[in-house]
Structure 1
Amino acid sequence: MKLFEVHILQTVAPNNLNRDDTGSPKDALFGGVRRARISSQAQKRAVRVAFKEQALLSPAEQAIRTKRMLEELVRRLEKQGHPQEKGISAVENALNAVGFGVKEGQTEYLLFLGETELDRLAEAIGTHLEALASGKAKGKKQSEVSKEVKEDLQRVLDGGKAVDLALFGRMLADRPELGVDAAAQVAHALSTHKVDREFDFYTAVDDLNPKKDTGAGMMGDVEFYSATLYRYAVVDLDKLLKNLQGDKELARKGVLAFLEAFTLTLPSGKQNSFAAHNPPLFVAFRAGEGLPRNLSTAFERPIRLWEDRALSELSVEALLREWSKFDRVYGPLNPEWKAGVNLTEAKVDGFPVAGSFGALKEEAEKALEELLGG
């Protein structure tokens, strides 16, 4: 397996970046003690948002996840010059024809389709507009349209070279053959040490409250914690290349965009209350051929403060000890490229350290050129 891994240690000030259904910050038991946790799904969502907001990928290289595919395709048909009423009927029957059941104007589950895929699907619907608009299976999962029309519709559902779709995959329960196996796996972030939740009791003042009426206009509490987090992700380069239909240049661009977005973004929960904007203190990549390694076992025994050394510093040293231990027993990747950036006082002797994150990306790009070829 050709792979590209990212290992991050990130100390985050008091925060509630990723909360559960009760509003509490997510956590998990690991090594017998409670740890701070940020879910993989929340991290992947932050990456997709960064792809868009930081323009790391062009719109054509991204995908859309929505139940509102009907109105989106109708909008694209209108831009082609087709009337709205006929477009609604044609799109509904087209979506039913390919197994995406439509109910009350929305698909029955979230669809994840590339921008290019959507454009080509709209074009195919426009080509067969009359046949689809007169379909008789409105509201059914399989519309009564000709085999030729169905094949034309299905032919465009190939992922459309959307990088986020290629990385994170899609599952279509009713049409498994149109699914895409994810090329990236993202671990739940865990604190390297034990955490205890804390509570912030807050009040709000009613500005128009008469002075004679004492008391707060509103009060409540919010849970939070602070933590040094270990974050890990791995990209299967062969699968990514397959999902992107063999486009090596786009695969390289996609992995570098993923490296930047995954490193520099976190979920945004309660940031207006906590402003926990703390960049990572240690980032490393590992690329080559072999098996992936999640090094969270470095923290199975929770890190404890000693000799006035920072948790982040101790965590970096524990991570690199675990890295060396696995190399010694199982061997490194063959071939292997690795590099990192380190903002802590940790001893990183023997590990190649770049002078900046930009320099680290340059090292990653060189590794990807070797692994993916020209």
Structure 2
Amino acid sequence: MLIELHLLQSFPVSNLNRDDLGQPKTARFGGYTRARISSQSLKRAARNLFDQHGLDPAELGVRTKRLRDAAAALLTTRGRDEERALEICQAGLEELGFAAHAATGLTKYLLYVGKPAQQLLADYCDQRWDELTKAVTEAKKRKEKQEKTPRKTAAAKTAAKKPTKQIQQEAKRILDGTRAADIAMFGRMIADNTDFNVNAASQVAHALSTHAVVNEFDYYTALDDLRPDAEPAADMIGTIDFNAACFYRYANLDLNQLAQNLPEDPDLVARSARAWLYSFIHAVPGGKQNSMAARTMPQTLLGVVRETGAWNLANAFLSPVTDVPDLMAASTQRLVDHFQQLRSFYGDTQLRNVTVASVGPNLPGVADEETAPSVDEFVSRLLTATKG
């Protein structure tokens, strides 16, 4: 069973998600340039709101390269020497199959782990302190030997040891994500060991503007407050890129996959689904917000609970909305009409619930029983439909 969320949200002057040149991201769609917000940006904005909508911070994951440092800090509070704790935790990570940089201690990629991972790694290293100390000592001896015979360095290097089955079980326990709601929703991929991968329960599309856009830039100057009045001039000159657009946003949540990722905890599954809905409705990326304050809310919300399938309704805007006095109203009508056309052509037997909410007048073409008067009622109807 899936919950689908379709949102129309208009942003004024903004640069919510920029590319490597600092410009708002765009994409060509239907032969026209559209404003774009990446799925990664939207997911992060939503993930940062989960603890405000019913999930405890302890039920959320951590994305980090600094697991070594976090575990070592815990060992230091237990009385272990700080420098030695760092060495032991690095050796512990390597033993578990996750090499860390010798100088910085950073893993080569971000690890997405449950909050207990820091504590569990510290416990693991504490329990195996003597064995890991021996491994650290041997590694230092090999390094010294290689430095003395640099020509033989390449031959002296040995392949990384593959963790034993017992160690792999320990790694699974430490990196366990079955109590982390956001890992269950967005998944986890670890290229070095696919046993730790988690299939995402949620799919999130890149948001696209319902109309064509042309990025613009704001030319600005800044003055030195202590410059004498007799020397008027700009002390700083620059530009900030921006656009203004009405976005179509789409995301879905597979409740069966979510339950599989959070086994034997139906309460956490239910609270995760609720948090997912509210967080994606309220999610706004943080790019350039201090200088542009584009803090808007979705104007039109279409929610669907379905048994099978999934419909991204972006093709409602394959031909861009143009030359209309009310861009949001025209985009809303396009969205509703396209959904009703798909519903009529492909049938709606797989649909459990359709609920529409709008900040404004009732929507033409939407039955009264499918219209919700508030966001709370909107969310409530969708969640209730998942229980039937």
User: Matched residues, percent identical?
Assistant: 36
> Which digits, 9 at most, give the CA deviation of each residue in 1:64-119, with x for residues without a partner?
11111100111233445554344323321221122211112111111110113443
Pair 1:338-2:354 in alignment: yes
Mark the CA change 1:144 to 1:341 in structure 2 (over 3 Å): closer, same or farther: closer
Pair 1:28-2:51 in alignment: no
Q: Shift of residue 364 of structure 1? A: 2.4
Of 329, 335, 339, 1:313 maps to 329
Mark the CA change 1:138 to 1:73 in structure 2 (over 3 Å): closer, same or farther: farther
Indicate the residue corresponding to 1:294 in structure 2: 312
Task: Tell me which amino acid in the other structure corresponds to 1:296.
Answer: A
Mark the CA change 1:28 to 1:145 in structure 2 (over 3 Å): closer, same or farther: closer
CA distance in 2, matches of 1:71, 1:196: 45
SS state of the match for residue 23, structure 2?
Answer: coil
Indicate the residue corresponding to 1:119 in structure 2: 119
- Segments of structure 1 that go 5 or more residues without pairing to the other structure are none
Indicate the residue corresponding to 1:324 in structure 2: 340
CA distance in 2, matches of 1:161, 1:33: 43
Task: Tell me which amino acid in the other structure corresponds to 1:320.
Answer: V
* Paired residues for 1:1-374 under 5 Å: 2-52=1-51, 54=52, 56-79=54-77, 82-103=80-101, 104=103, 105-136=105-136, 142=160, 148-306=166-324, 308=325, 310-332=326-348, 334-345=350-361, 346-350=363-367, 352-370=370-388
Mark the CA change 1:149 to 1:302 in structure 2 (over 3 Å): closer, same or farther: closer
Q: Shift of residue 358 of structure 1? A: 1.3
Task: Tell me which amino acid in the other structure corresponds to 2:48.
Answer: V
CA distance in 1, matches of 2:131, 2:356: 57
More divergent stretch after superposition (79-88 vs 219-228): 79-88
> Which digits, 9 at most, give the CA deviation of each residue in 1:39-68, with x for residues without a partner?
00111111122224x364212211111111
Mark the CA change 1:364 to 1:132 in structure 2 (over 3 Å): closer, same or farther: farther
CA distance in 1, matches of 2:79, 2:28: 57
CA distance in 2, matches of 1:358, 1:160: 28
CA distance in 2, matches of 1:4, 1:81: 49
Task: Tell me which amino acid in the other structure corresponds to 1:127.
Answer: Q
SS state of the match for residue 211, structure 2?
Answer: coil
Mark the CA change 1:154 to 1:97 in structure 2 (over 3 Å): closer, same or farther: farther
Mark the CA change 1:118 to 1:209 in structure 2 (over 3 Å): closer, same or farther: same
Task: Tell me which amino acid in the other structure corresponds to 2:119.
Answer: D
> Which digits, 9 at most, give the CA deviation of each residue in 1:164-193, with x for residues without a partner?
111111111111111111111110000101
CA distance in 1, matches of 2:89, 2:114: 17
SS state of the match for residue 249, structure 2?
Answer: strand
For normalisation by structure 1, the TM-score amounts to 0.91
Task: Tell me which amino acid in the other structure corresponds to 1:165.
Answer: I
Q: Shift of residue 313 of structure 1? A: 0.7
CA distance in 1, matches of 2:246, 2:45: 19
Mark the CA change 1:195 to 1:149 in structure 2 (over 3 Å): closer, same or farther: closer
8 A Cα contact 2:46 2:279, kept in partner: yes
CA distance in 2, matches of 1:145, 1:313: 59
8 A Cα contact 1:124 1:153, kept in partner: no
8 A Cα contact 1:115 1:160, kept in partner: no
Runs of 4+ with >4 A deviation? 79-83, 136-147
CA distance in 2, matches of 1:131, 1:243: 34
CA distance in 2, matches of 1:99, 1:60: 25
CA RMSD of aligned residues (A): 2.2
Mark the CA change 1:236 to 1:144 in structure 2 (over 3 Å): closer, same or farther: closer
Q: Shift of residue 297 of structure 1? A: 0.3
SS state of the match for residue 366, structure 1?
Answer: helix
Bigger-Rg structure (1/2): 2
Q: Shift of residue 158 of structure 1? A: 2.6
Mark the CA change 1:332 to 1:145 in structure 2 (over 3 Å): closer, same or farther: closer
CA distance in 1, matches of 2:13, 2:319: 23
CA distance in 1, matches of 2:76, 2:261: 30
